[in-house]
Amino acid sequence: MSFRFGPVRAALCTLSLCCLQLLATSHAAAFCRESLKSSAGGDCEEEPGVPFLTWKRGCMTYRFNDNFFTLIPALSETAIRETFTKSFDAWAAVDCGGRNPFFVQQASKATATSAAEFLYDAVNESIVAARTRAEWSKLKDHDDSALALTLLWHDKATGEILDVDMELNTGAGRFNDCDKIRCGANMLDLQNTVTHEAGHLLGLGHTNVPGATMEPSTNSNPETLKRTLERDDIDGYCALKLPEWKCSGASCSCPAPPIVPSRMTVRTCGCRVLGARSAETPAGWLCAGGVLALVAWRIRRNRRNY
């Protein structure tokens, strides 16, 4: 058996010709679950018999890079941690028939790990990292207008998600809490962005249902509407049929992810990007992008073109 791995990614970008071209062929039906049919740079596609990208474990843990809080100076570490918790809790609060929700655990300690990548023969940390404008620009296929990028590394044979990384581009705007302050130009609501990215992390692609959290569009007021879920998002979340989290023991801590041996072959694939309105355009759109790459011995960083 060969492992082919892929990160699902999500990022916020300004309206561009690329976005317009991708919208012309975007998935038109309600919510969409990412599957092995969803190719790098392509739309979210579903096909009978083709495995979805899915979690087999009942929980996952993400850890902030130790430089993350410094790069979002408008918010305290406590406020940032609470924002991420609220974003993931919005999904976990969905009632899918009394099932215990999939558990997303936030690690209390930061990590020195900063690279968004997958390593063989090692326990992979699911990191949340912030990049400066200069750092973002140096990363291959990271468009300067992208606000965030979520990578889901998965087994290409089965669709099992094995690792996740999330990157925020602080050069695209200043992240803040736009419910507590009046956000002006070049300011972004952190919770709005993270709640959308959390949907990708769980396995959802984009929907064309207006007003949905996973809708491929946003405005630059800045928007806060994606903090909460709509009916389409709720239906999509329940359709994921995420494994239940069964807590045992006093700590109820999520165990470490599995180690993938280096003999496996993996590949990367792409997800979606959240679009922000540029100053001269009336609206912005979420566009897709990415470059497919076959890799052996070590998985490469997720890439996206816009």
Domain-by-domain residue ranges, the chain? 10-296
Supply φ then ψ for residue 10, to 5 degrees: -140, 135
State the pLDDT at residue 161: 94
What local confidence, expressed as pLDDT, does residue 252 receive? 82
pLDDT computed for residue 251 by the predictor: 67
Question: In degrees rounded to 5, what are phi and psi of residue 265?
Answer: -105, 135
The full DSSP string for 126-180 is: EEEEEE-HHHHHHSTT--TT--EEEEEEE-TTT-BEEEEEEEEEGGG-EEE-TTT
Among candidate residues 151, 131, 101, 49, the one with its CA nearest the CA of residue 254: 101
Contact in structure between 214 and 207 (CB atoms under 8 Å) = yes
String of b and e for 2-22 (b: at least 16 CB within 10 Å)? ebbbbbbbbbbbbbbebbeeb
> In this structure, what token pair is assigned to residue 151?
């990578």
Widest CA span in the chain: 55
Which pLDDT does position 303 carry in this prediction?
Answer: 30
Tokens of 202: 């769980």
Tally of CA atoms within 13 A in the half-sphere of 162 that contains its CB: 27
Is residue 64 within 8 Å of 17, Cβ to Cβ? no
Residue 150 has what pLDDT? 85
**Mean pLDDT in order along the chain per 10 residues (306 residues):** 42 35 45 82 77 94 98 98 98 91 95 94 96 92 81 89 94 93 91 94 91 82 92 96 83 87 60 38 28 26 27
CATH superfamily of domain region 10-296: Collagenase (Catalytic Domain) (3.40.390.10)
Tell me if residue 14 falls in helix, strand or coil: strand
How would you classify residue 137: left for phi > 0, otherwise alpha for psi between -120 and 50, otherwise beta? alpha
Q: What DSSP letter does each residue of 192-255 carry, written as one string?
A: HHHHHHHHHHHTB----STT-TT-S---TTT--GGGS--HHHHHHHHHT-PPPP---TTT-PPP
